[in-house]
Amino acid sequence: MTLVTDVRLRRVLDSRGNPTVEADVLTESGGFGRAAAPSGASTGEYEAIELPPGEAIANAREHAVPQLEGRVYAGNQREVDAALRGADGTDDFSGIGANSAVAISMAAAKAGADVLGAPLFQHLGGTFRGENFPTPLGNVVGGGEHAADATYIQEFLAAPVGAPNVTDAVFANAAVHAAVADILDERGESCGKGDEGAWAPSIDDAEAFEIVDEATDVVSSDVGFEVGFGLDVAASELYDADAEVYRYGDDEKTTDEQVEYIADLVREYDLVYVEDPLDEDDYEGFADLTERVGEQTLVCGDDLFVTNTERLRTGIDLDAANSILIKPNQIGTLADAFDAVELAVRNGYDPVISHRSGETEDATIAHLAVATDAPFIKTGAVGGERTAKLNELIRIADDAL
């Protein structure tokens, strides 16, 4: 019933106005799945390769589509994803592009779910029990590679850790986003938004901490549960490898100073989450920080691990972190992303399922988060391509309970 009969690929728009790859997968019995690849701006050095969409589509049509149509079953994700890897023939998907691969992989999963008449999260092996919903981390202030003339730290993320249900959590993050706007307004700091919908004021990082701390406090007392916050430092973008320092404008920090700085921030602001606090090659720096604050907060590797089990294994051996960001397009297929989650969980690492700065309406990651029972999902706070995932989480909860 789930034999793949057609794979169609096209270029569609992403949230930055760039083209990206969308895939349709059709099956023998009329099953249908559609998915689109997201795209990063602060991309990790070790990520699978995203090709220009036109090239990715042409290469996938030539090499992958003939290996899929009439040959694999959409209901068998491992078979689909192995066929994609085999057709690509490289370690990093530079043959057909990780963008083509991930779009086809996710579209096949949806087609498999469609044939079964099951929601995607269930087809992917998950259940929704209500009390275990993934807590959304909502980007409310940011800069880095996502906005010019804004903070050095890429993302300040609202974290409604005390929320009793997913709907309250989603609305709490939107409330923090609105509260930040009010505070910025009071301070006369008008500003636009970055790529993920976070406010991108021209303020220094210290002021951003004050503002987000105040906004989360205000919302916490309004909603009556704990709303904390966390960071994606995206430190690889700040690191100058030649000088071996982190550059915050004219300010610079050695690795030891960077570890100290982040550890102090964790203590001062009770940060619940710190992503990429150090450069993507610095397992030792990560381990040093994790030793200091790993009991209090999640130290999460994004560019460090790039959803790659080999890199995660190295991190586990060195006690480099206690959490891993999972972005299916960093590795190329859903099966690979599941392998990373499984290895993480077996070793006590919390998986955090994540969007990219360039997104579409595709809501696959909402299902992936529920399917893997991930404690967190990072998918912005506002903006259509972000609310697509948040509203899907609300629907999943509503349908499942």
For residue 69, give every residue at least 6 positions away whose Cβ sits within 8 Å of its Cβ, in sequence order, or none.
Answer: 4, 5, 6, 7
Known catalytic residue at 196: yes
Q: Is 40 in the site for ligand PGA (CB under 6 A)?
A: yes
- Listed in order, strand segments (DSSP E) in 56-181 are 135-142, 155-159
> Can you tell me which of 48, 179, 234, 337 binds ligand PGA, judged by CB under 6 A?
234
**Torsion angle of C-alpha atoms 278, 282, 286, 292, degrees rounded to 10:** -100
CB of 44 to Zn ion, least distance (A): 8
Buried b (16+ CB within 10 A) or exposed e, 11-33: bbebbeeebbbbbbbbbeeebeb
Closest Cα to residue 162, out of 232, 219, 233, 213? 219
The residue among 231 and 293 lying less far from ligand PGA, judged by its C-beta, is 231
Residue nearest to ligand PGA (CB): 40
The residue among 151 and 220 lying less far from ligand PGA, judged by its C-beta, is 151
CA distance 285 to 283: 6
> Can you tell me which of 302, 336, 359, 385 binds Zn ion, judged by CB under 5 A?
302
The residue among 75 and 138 lying less far from ligand PGA, judged by its C-beta, is 138
Q: Is 42 in the site for ligand PGA (CB under 6 A)?
A: yes
Q: Is 43 in the site for ligand PGA (CB under 6 A)?
A: yes
Q: Is 280 in the site for Zn ion (CB under 5 A)?
A: no
> Can you tell me which of 50, 88, 232, 336 binds ligand PGA, judged by CB under 6 A?
232
Known catalytic residue at 327: yes
The residues facing 323 across adjacent strands are 300, 350
Q: Is 41 in the site for ligand PGA (CB under 6 A)?
A: yes
The residue among 67 and 329 lying less far from ligand PGA, judged by its C-beta, is 329
Q: Is 139 in the site for ligand PGA (CB under 6 A)?
A: no
Backbone φ and ψ of 362, nearest 5°: -55, 130
356 contact, one of ligand PGA, Zn ion, none, CB 5-8 Å limit per kind: ligand PGA
CB of 224 to ligand PGA, least distance (A): 30
Q: Is 232 in the site for Zn ion (CB under 5 A)?
A: yes
DSSP of 322-340? SEEEE-HHHHSSHHHHHHH
CB of 298 to ligand PGA, least distance (A): 14
Task: Identify the residue whose tokens are 């409310």.
Answer: 140
* Cβ 180 vs Cβ 132: under 8 Å: no
The residue among 37 and 176 lying less far from ligand PGA, judged by its C-beta, is 37
From the list 196, 275, 280, 359, the catalytic residue is 196
123 contact, one of Zn ion, ligand PGA, none, CB 5-8 Å limit per kind: none
CB of 377 to Zn ion, least distance (A): 14
82: helix, strand or coil: helix
Residue nearest to Zn ion (CB): 302
- Listed in order, strand segments (DSSP E) in 28-99 are 32-36
Q: Using the Cα atoms of residue 51, residue 53, residue 55 and residue 56 in order, give the sign of their dihedral.
A: positive
Q: Is 336 in the site for ligand PGA (CB under 6 A)?
A: no
For residue 126, give every residue at least 6 positions away whose Cβ sits within 8 Å of its Cβ, in sequence order, or none.
Answer: 367, 370, 371, 372, 373
The residue among 64 and 374 lying less far from Zn ion, judged by its C-beta, is 374
Which residues of the chain form contacts with ligand PGA (CB under 6 A)? Answer: 40-43, 145, 232, 234, 302, 354, 356-357
| Site residues, Zn ion (CB under 5 A) | 232, 302
Active site residues: 196, 327
